[in-house]
Every structure is written in structure tokens, then in C-alpha cells.
Amino acid sequence: MFHRFTPIIAAALAVALIQLSGCKDPEDNEPADTFDKEAMLTNLADNVIMPAYTQLADDANTLKSAIDALQADPSNTQRDVAREAFVTLQLQWQRCAPFEFGPAADENLRRTANTFPTDTAQIERNIREGNADLSTASNTDAKGLPALDYLLFGPRSQEGDWSADRLEQLSVNIDLLVEEFTTVNDAWQNSYRDEFVKNLGNDVGSALGQLVNELNYEFELVKNARVGIPLGKKSLGVPQEEKVEAYYAERSLDCINAALTAQQNTFKGGEGLGLDDYLDHLDARYGEGMLSAAIVEQFDECLSNTNAIASTLPDAILNSSGQVEELHTSLQNLVVLLKTDMPSQLGVQITYQDNDGD
């Protein structure tokens, strides 16, 4: 007889307990309506990710034209045109860097495009030996944006010392980037977008899982590679200011600003549905307020700490390290929100491996 009444008793108990517990009262709880995850992913794909990649491919082509012109006329004027195009491309890269999944992961894009600090000795060797093959293992640290940074802004470029081989190395690097960026942009335009917006789970291979995990990965690169390491966090406090991103162009802080702004914008979904709305829908709290607001505010604090540094980043590291320490601390506080509070509220997985809930 027991089995026949079990569900009834349990249901009655359930209703009673829900009333008693009171922590989820349907009356005053508006997130009862459903959240359209697909609409969020569609917004992110159409209004954040794809425009960023299209712009990236365009900016790479602009730099390629400028480098072609420099090859034809190695003057300071043409050099400055190329430099300007490079800075635009370097900053646009920051707006794509968090999306290292799907086509970008297939191309290993981050590694190819932006491994820094760059190996200048290897670049000089490539120039001397006329080496045009950047895919070899020895060139892992000697290609992409950091190589272009060195070639366009390094000491030889100041002197207008343009040998044919040096110009050729510039050309080989921008060709590589044009090819890679175009490939990734085309893949998003052709088929990956639809795959992305339909991939609605929360496992590590889902759109949300990849987005959250890669956003976090790129954010940690801001904290560690772009700020921490140059500040001496991995060298017992001894500054390694030459390890900043965009060292020769002296645009490290602009890169950090662009990276943080892009990451915040991804979190907010631009003007549309983003992770912030999803967290709000899930009623995710942080302390007294909403988690989404805490994350947006902490991004703002990181940005204002970045903007507060008046000199170049290497200069600040050597002469006013307190300001850089402050930036690093604010990044450290944000990484906690992004890597603990956000994923655990979203229930995002970091692996396909089996788990039993702990």
C-alpha cells in the first residue's frame, strides 16, 4: 500500500514545505518567466562577435595595403601610415581575443596572432636568412602582431633602415594575419554562427560554456601577461617591463583598455541580451546587490585604474608602481567574480569528464 500513497504524501509535503521555506515565493519573484538563451547567443554572435571579426579582417587588409605601399616607397610617411594601421589592428584584436573557440580555436588564433613578448633575435635571424616560413616551431614567438610591433616601431624603423629583407618580413607577417583573420571571419559568416546560437547546453563544448571559459582565460591574460608579469609578479618583484604587450608602439595601456572594454561589452552583450541579463534572470546575487552589477562595476574600476596611469606602462612600472599595483589588485578582485561567482551561478562546466556533483 505504501507505494500507492508515496507520491501523494510527498506532493502534499512538497507544497507545505514550499510555503514554509518562503525563499522562493512565486508572488514576488518575477524571474519566473523564461530566459531566451538562444536570443542571447544570437545577439552576441550578430552584434558583438561577428562585427568584431569582420572589422579585424578589414583592419588587417588595410595594414596589408599600407605595408605594400611601404614596400614600394620605404619613406617615413609611408611608415607612419603603416604604424597607424597597425595600432588600429592591434586594438581591434583585443575585441576578438575572448572568442578563442570554434573557428579561432581551430586556427589556434591567439597563439599565432598575439604571442608576446616577441623573440626579436629570431625575427632578425629570419630577416638575415630570408626565412619566410613562420609556421616552424622556432617562429612560435616570432610572428603576428608582436612581430609587426617590433618591425614597425623597433629601433631600425626609427632610423628608416628598410632593407628589402626587412620589408619582406613585414609582408610575410601581415599576409599570415590576413589569411588567419579572413579564415576565422569566413567560418563565422558561413556556418559557425548557426552552430553557435543553437548550442544551448551548459557543458564545456556548449556556446555558453566556451564563451564563459574563454572570456575568463583572456581576462586572466590581462591580469597575468599584460600586467602581472611586467610588474614582476613572476620574478620575485623584479620588474620585467619589456614584457608588456605592444612594447615598441608604446600602446600597452591602450591595449589593456581595449581588452577590458571589449570583455565588459561581451559580458553585457553590447546593447542587447548578454551574460548580465542571464545572471539577472537567474537572480544571481553578490552580497546585497546583483552579481551582474558587481561585475560591471569591477570592470569600471579596472578601467579607471588603467586610465589613471598617465605615462606608458613600462614607465609606470619602473617609476610609479603603486598605480600599477592598484590596477593589478582590481584585476585580481574581478577574476574572482568571473571565475567563481559567475560560472557557479551559471552551472557552467569546465570539462566533459564525469562528475558526481563535487
Partner 1 sequence: MVTSSWLHRKLFEPISIAPLVTFRIVFGSLMVASIFRFWANGWIEDQFITPSFHFKYFGFYWIPDPTSAVIYACFLMMAVAASMIALGLFYRYAAAAFFLLFTYVELIDATYYLNHYYFVSLVSLLLIFLPAGRQSSLDVALGWVKPLKKVSAWSIWLVMFQLGVVYFLAGVAKLNEDWLIHAMPLAIWLPTQAHLPVLGYLMEWWAAPHLFSWFGALYDLSIPFLLLWRPTRPFAYLAVIAFHVMTWWLFQIGMFPFIMIGATLIFFPASTHERWQRQLRLPVWGENVVQESSKRLQPVLTTVLALYVLVQTLFPFRNLLYPGDPLWHEQGYRFGWRVMLVEKAGYAQFKVVDATGGELWVDNSEFLTPVQEKMMATQSDFILQYAAHLKEHFEAEGISVERVSADVRVSHNGRSSQPYIDAEVNLASLSDSWTNKPWIKPLQ
Q: Which residues bind partner 1 (CB under 8 A)?
A: 2-3, 6, 10, 13-14, 17-18, 21, 23-24, 26, 29, 32, 34-35, 37-38, 200-203, 213, 220, 224, 228, 233-238, 282, 284-287, 291, 332, 335-337, 339-341, 343-358
Q: How far is the CB of 136 from partner 1 (least distance, A)?
A: 24
Q: Which is nearer to partner 1, 136 or 351 (CB)?
A: 351
Amino acid (1-letter code) at residue 193: R
Q: Work out how close the CB of 152 gets to partner 1 at its nearest, in angstroms, rounded to a whole number.
A: 30
Least distance to partner 1, CB of residue 341, Å: 5
Closer Cβ to partner 1, 303 or 346, answer by number? 346
- Map residue 290 onto helix, strand or coil: strand
Comparison of 183 and 240: residue with beta carbon closer to partner 1: 240
Shorter beta-carbon distance to partner 1: residue 88 or 321: 321
**Minimum CB–partner distance for residue 334 and partner 1 (Å):** 11
Q: Is it true that the peptide bond before 239 is cis, omega within 30 degrees of 0?
A: no
User: Are residues 162 and 74 in contact, defined by beta-carbon separation less than 8 angstroms?
Assistant: yes
In the complex, least distance from residue 260 CB atom to partner 1, rounded to whole angstroms: 18
Q: 59 vs 277, which CB is nearer to partner 1?
A: 277
Question: DSSP H helical segments within the chain, as ranges?
Answer: 2-21, 37-43, 50-72, 76-94, 103-107, 109-113, 120-129, 144-153, 155-158, 164-187, 193-198, 207-221, 229-231, 252-268, 275-281, 291-307, 313-319, 321-336, 342-346
With both helix axes pointing from N to C terminus, report the angle between 164-187 and 120-129 in degrees, rounded to the nearest 10.
110
- How many CA within 13 A on the CB side of residue 76? 4
